[in-house]
Structure 1
Amino acid sequence: MIYSLIIVICLVVFIFAGAFFAKKQYEQLILWLRRDATREEKPHLTGRWKEITDYVERLLKQRNQENQHTIDQLNKLLGAIQVSPNGVLLLDKDHKIEWCNDTAAKLFHLDRELDKQQYITNLIRMPEFVDYIESQQYQQPLKLTQGIDEKKLMLQLHPYDEGRLLLLVNDITQIERIEKMRRNFVADVSHEIRTPLAVLNGFIETMQNLPLSEEERSRYLDLMYQQGRRMQSLVSDLLTLARLEDSTPPPMDQWIASDAILDHTKNTVQELSAGHHTITIHADAKALIAGNESELISAVANIAVNAVRYTKEGGCIEISFLLVDGEGVFRVKDTGQGIPAQHIKNLTQRFYRIDKSRSRETGGTGLGLSIVKHVLSRHGGHLDIESVEGKGSIFSLLFPSQRIKNIN
């Protein structure tokens, strides 16, 4: 009997001890989980409790790896958006800024940290933008003109995630400028071609409907030929400009002698002048110039031809080549009518003329100096113009030292 009682007591003590030990291990497990199982050291448990902690630890490591992979992918995505040339802003349901990239911050003059959680309409106060964001009609983009420099912005809102908004913004200033230039260019070309076409049509109609003497017919045909040549020159110059804008950069390993360019220019201007001007050609130095031969010859010849056209009979034209601080300089000096100071900065614009009637009389298309500017720009050079009205002009075509090889 006593032995049975001892056995029962031992069993009860064993059960309570086991229960107490299990409770302690359970409490250690719960405490580990509550504190942060990923950071705290795993408790030293035994039996099934150890199996449970090992299993939980494996699950937590797997979850952390998945979370880290997601975070890495998100950071890569945000990094890509960060370097995007387009501005990106994320707005919450109340139109407060949650995040923006550097491009958007720059375009709207925002501070990415200080302006976070600020109302976008408090930072972009333009009435058209406020109306746009409050209209909730985001199918079409909105164009804005911003700042004293009149920067053109194109922006559009895209709803997502039950009330949030994605704002995309692009700087279209350059696109708008190019489009305006294109429209003006088309208008200028149309205007330039319209005049000779009208003259040709008038002469053709006259010759068809009126009895003309042989002398009158010959004179009309001569005038028609002149207008046809004028249109031909215009189209040729337009094609030259298009080719310059679209072609690859000029080579650095093809060389043309400065003397060859001067000789070609001399032949061109002497033929055009027909002995009506005093033309002087000289070189203070000899050099090789790296680049496109036909473009270089065309640029210098264009300037020299203009000198002939705008210098009265008996005037002097001096064409020279020299080296200045390593740069190669073709210089064309004339005793022509000169250029008013206010016109000099605009001379290289397409179809820009000081005296339109004078230019047309001399056969100019208004594109010559624009072609020269493009050639020089492609070769890393620039055009310098000095002129005194009534006394003449000096045009200098300067080429950088890296394209010049002195052969004196």
Structure 2
Amino acid sequence: MQLSRHALITSLVALAAAGLLIGMLFDHAMVGLNIGLLIWGFKHIRQFNRLFDWLQREDGSEPPEASGAWGELFDEMSRMQKRSRAREQYLRGIISRFQQSSAALSDAIVIIDSHNNLEWWNRAADRLLGLKATSDRGKPLINLLRDPRFVRYFRKGHYQEPLELPSPVNSDLQLQYQLTKFGEADLLLVARDITRIVRLEHTRQDFVANASHELRTPLTVIRGYLETFLDQELPRPLQRGLEQMQQQARRMEGLVTDLLLLSRLEASQHISDEHPILIQDLIRRIHEDAEALATGRGHRFELAIDTDYDLLGQAGELQSAFSNLVFNAVRYTPDNGTITLRWQVDHKGGHFSVSDDGIGIEAMHIPRLTERFYRIDESRSSASGGTGLGLAIVKHVLVRHYAHISIDSTPGKGSTFTCHFPPDMVVPVRGVEAS
């Protein structure tokens, strides 16, 4: 291209000089110069028109024949055009393979643009979500998926956990929605059919619930007879054995109660409705129960309660969750230890925490603490009378309230269990009517 520029300048100078010389012969030098420049301009306008017409055709034909600078320009434009077509064909191939592969997936995949409008989706989205390519493209997502639970999940902007809801076009199908941010402000929605998994989970839950329910009657009978026998004068070895049987029967009753509660919590993912809760009164009642449980152990209780805010939710479930955390602190904090109950609110939401200066927990155990029946120390848990289901119950209660738990613990220094609630679950005290 450097040679082309030199050639253009050379041709301009040559025609101008020729026109000037011819004009001088006729004693009109400037007229000859202007004629030479006009001839040079018309020549290049003609070549430009040929180039423009060729580019307009876009049919892949060869460029016009030309010599000099225009010939080099035509050849370079032809090479650029071929490279562009090859690149375009390559990208079209990638898009085509992506569309073919995504169309073969059984999961619905939807791309949502930065304005929350539908941009593209695969065939499974037609079947699972009822989207129609002829009418729904470019429409807002929440105008088509109108379930209030999905709208709330979508608007929150926190997509770490998936959402499970029935299909909007077939209530027999259970879908798991997962949103992922990508690019500037785009979203990828994946909806997976988990109907079979949900049915298996329901079968498991029904079995646990039925088995637990059936165990209550024989346990009640056993405990009744044990209490009757222990009211009598018995030989010391026999009395000791019956007392141990009674202790284990009580423990089994507690386990059955927790299993039934856990099964009920698992029956639905979120609470059906929300009620204002006087959380200050709730925490104080739990504090009184904890003091009764810690009688004779010298525990010191400290309360730090934000009196300006209360919480929305189900009072019975939250009392069960908070009680589990507080009673665990009582069980596993040595005598004369300190237990602190806090309720505080900031821009991230409401936070209820239970801190102790007990034995602490090693980091390797923390990720598994909310699993059913997980025990750090089997002998210690048995001695405390725990069922191994307390933190699992806490986790499920919090999930149903759109909340989560965090655990901070250092061996030998104590532990802090914190329940984090989103801002829209927190209300000012003045907005709560006393019941």
TM-score normalised by structure 2 residue count: 0.47
Amino acid in the other structure paired with 2:334: K
* 1:308 counterpart residue number: 330
Distance apart, 1:407 and its partner CA: 2.5
Listed one character per residue, the Cα deviations across residues 319-373 of structure 1 (whole Å, up to 9, x for unaligned) are 1211122511111001111111011011001111111111111111110000000
Aligned partner of 1:256 among 274, 277, 283: 277
1:138-149 alignment runs, 5 A limit = none
* 1:329 counterpart residue number: 351
Distance apart, 1:281 and its partner CA: 3.6
* 2:71 counterpart residue number: none
* 2:321 counterpart residue number: 299
* Residue 239 of structure 1 pairs with residue 260 of structure 2: yes
Radius of gyration: which is bigger?
Answer: 1
Aligned partner of 1:370 among 392, 395, 418: 392
Aligned partner of 1:405 among 423, 427, 430: 427
Distance apart, 1:183 and its partner CA: 7.5
Query: Contact 2:278 / 2:310 at 8 angstroms: preserved in 1?
Result: yes
How many Å separate the matches in 2 of 1:346 and 1:259?
30
How many Å separate the matches in 2 of 1:393 and 1:296?
20
How many Å separate the matches in 2 of 1:402 and 1:181?
30
How many Å separate the matches in 2 of 1:405 and 1:176?
37
TM-score normalised by structure 1 residue count: 0.50
How many Å separate the matches in 2 of 1:184 and 1:290?
27
Distance apart, 1:278 and its partner CA: 2.5
* 2:311 counterpart residue number: 289
Runs of 4+ that moved beyond 6 A = 171-174, 180-187
Amino acid in the other structure paired with 1:245: E
Aligned partner of 2:240 among 208, 211, 219: 219
Distance apart, 1:172 and its partner CA: 8.4
How many Å separate the matches in 2 of 1:84 and 1:353?
40
* 1:390 counterpart residue number: 412
How many Å separate the matches in 1 of 2:242 and 2:394?
33
Distance apart, 1:284 and its partner CA: 3.8
Amino acid in the other structure paired with 2:388: G
Amino acid in the other structure paired with 2:255: L
Query: Contact 1:311 / 1:337 at 8 angstroms: preserved in 2?
Result: yes
Distance apart, 1:177 and its partner CA: 9.7
Query: Contact 1:264 / 1:297 at 8 angstroms: preserved in 2?
Result: no
3-state SS in 1 of match to 2:335: coil
3-state SS in 2 of match to 1:348: coil
Listed one character per residue, the Cα deviations across residues 159-184 of structure 1 (whole Å, up to 9, x for unaligned) are xxxxxxxxxxxx88885698599879
Listed as ranges, the gaps of 5+ residues in structure 1 are 1-81, 88-100, 105-170
Query: Contact 1:329 / 1:398 at 8 angstroms: preserved in 2?
Result: yes
3-state SS in 2 of match to 1:271: helix
* Residue 342 of structure 1 pairs with residue 364 of structure 2: yes
How many Å separate the matches in 2 of 1:185 and 1:305?
29
Amino acid in the other structure paired with 1:311: T
Tell me the number of residue pairs that the alignment of Structure 1 and Structure 2 aligns. Answer: 238
1:71-82 alignment runs, 5 A limit = none
How many Å separate the matches in 2 of 1:246 and 1:184?
8
Amino acid in the other structure paired with 1:346: R
* 1:351 counterpart residue number: 373
Percent of pairs with identical residues: 37
Listed as ranges, the gaps of 5+ residues in structure 2 are 1-102, 109-121, 126-191, 431-435
How many Å separate the matches in 1 of 2:386 and 2:255?
9
Amino acid in the other structure paired with 1:301: S
Listed one character per residue, the Cα deviations across residues 63-103 of structure 1 (whole Å, up to 9, x for unaligned) are xxxxxxxxxxxxxxxxxxx899589xxxxxxxxxxxxx845
Listed one character per residue, the Cα deviations across residues 136-191 of structure 1 (whole Å, up to 9, x for unaligned) are xxxxxxxxxxxxxxxxxxxxxxxxxxxxxxxxxxx88885698599879989x99x
Amino acid in the other structure paired with 1:361: A
1:2-401 alignment runs, 5 A limit = 85=106, 102-103=123-124, 175=196, 214-247=235-268, 249-252=271-274, 254-286=275-307, 287-401=309-423
How many Å separate the matches in 2 of 1:181 and 1:341?
33
